[in-house]
């Protein structure tokens, strides 16, 4: 019985993680380049309501993974907005090392360097990308390969990278990811970019709300199962103690 209680408690913990993932997804449904979180369950969630019917010995896992499915494009008309098509990421240079993002909302800082909305430096193939002050932003052209130019000038190229195994990337907030030290990116081979567009999040609010209702119901059923199991255990203990 103790084992059954541990399993049911573990199930509730997994459902709690799923609830948090759904809440995170809903909160970022309109975040540029956001990739939704999904929970990987080892067993169907429906079994949680019947822990004594073949449930002992099985458990749910609340492991969270990222879904890197391509999001749809939305036109912005901004010259420094760039959407990624394919498996790649923009590389950002930060004080903590390289980070990676699909959010291509860029701007210039006071020194003319290309940065994101958080002020992080956008990496170029040859270092930071600096736009001369005499270049009008409206004249900037960003090619599908990430090359940046203005009339008569080559201004650099966005450093776009890909990972063989994206499952090892760790989300660090604001749509960014970090890679373990032993995981190295490679230059983009299957990725292109489109100027004047954003990649929207791959979150479907309707699907997330349906999932939220389902998880809430299963959690409630799990709590009831634990309460019922606890009462049976108390009854058994009273019989034993007589």
Rounded mean pLDDT of the chain? 86
Looking at per-residue pLDDT, the higher value among 58 and 34 belongs to 34
* Per-residue pLDDT tens over the stretch 128-164: 999 999 999 999 999 999 999 999 999 999 999 999 9
Specify the pLDDT at position 217. 86
Residue 167: exposure state from Cβ atoms within 10 A (0-12, 13-18, ≥19): exposed
Identify the band that residue 126 occupies on the pLDDT scale cut at 50, 70 and 90: very high
Please identify which residue in the block is written with the tokens 């058994």: 236
Q: What is the distance between the alpha carbons of residues 188 and 161, in angstroms, rounded to a whole number?
A: 5
3-state secondary structure of 169: coil
Specify the pLDDT at position 54. 46
Backbone φ/ψ region at 126: left (φ over 0), alpha (ψ -120 to 50), beta:
alpha
Is the pLDDT score of 116 beyond 90? yes
Q: What is the distance between the alpha carbons of residues 218 and 12, in angstroms, rounded to a whole number?
A: 9
Backbone φ/ψ region at 57: left (φ over 0), alpha (ψ -120 to 50), beta:
left
3-state secondary structure of 198: strand
Q: Half-sphere exposure of residue 50, counting CA atoms within 13 Å on the CB side?
A: 6
Answering whether pTM is above 0.75, one says yes
Identify the band that residue 207 occupies on the pLDDT scale cut at 50, 70 and 90: very high
Q: What is the distance between the alpha carbons of residues 9 and 197, in angstroms, rounded to a whole number?
A: 46
Q: Which helix (H) or strand (E) holds 67?
A: none
Specify the pLDDT at position 173. 84
Please identify which residue in the block is written with the tokens 């005499």: 134
For the chain, the structural domain boundaries read 2-68+202-241, 73-199
């Amino acid at each position: 019985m103790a084992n059954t209680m541990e399993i049911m408690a573990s199930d509730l913990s997994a459902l709690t993680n799923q609830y948090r993932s759904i809440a995170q997804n809903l909160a970022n449904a309109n975040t540029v380049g956001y990739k939704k979180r999904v929970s990987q369950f080892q067993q169907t969630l429906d079994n949680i309501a019947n822990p004594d019917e073949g449930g002992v010995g099985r458990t749910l896992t609340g492991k969270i993974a990222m879904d890197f499915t391509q999001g749809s494009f939305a036109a912005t008309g901004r010259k420094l907005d760039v959407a990624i098509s394919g498996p790649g990421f923009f590389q950002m240079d930060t004080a903590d090392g390289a980070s990676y993002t699909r959010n291509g909302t860029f701007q210039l800082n006071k020194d003319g360097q290309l940065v994101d909305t958080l002020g992080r430096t956008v990496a170029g193939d040859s270092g930071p990308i600096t736009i001369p002050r005499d270049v009008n932003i409206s004249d900037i052209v960003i090619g599908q390969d990430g090359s940046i130019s203005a009339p008569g000038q080559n201004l650099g190229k966005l450093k776009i990278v890909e990972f063989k195994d994206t499952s090892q990337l760790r989300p660090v907030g604001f749509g960014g990811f970090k890679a373990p030290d032993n995981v190295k990116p490679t230059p983009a081979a299957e990725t292109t970019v489109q100027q004047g567009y954003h990649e929207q999040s791959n979150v479907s609010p309707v699907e997330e709300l349906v999932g939220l209702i389902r998880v809430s119901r299963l959690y409630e059923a799990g709590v009831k199962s634990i309460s019922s199991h606890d009462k049976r255990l108390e009854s058994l203990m009273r019989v034993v103690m007589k």
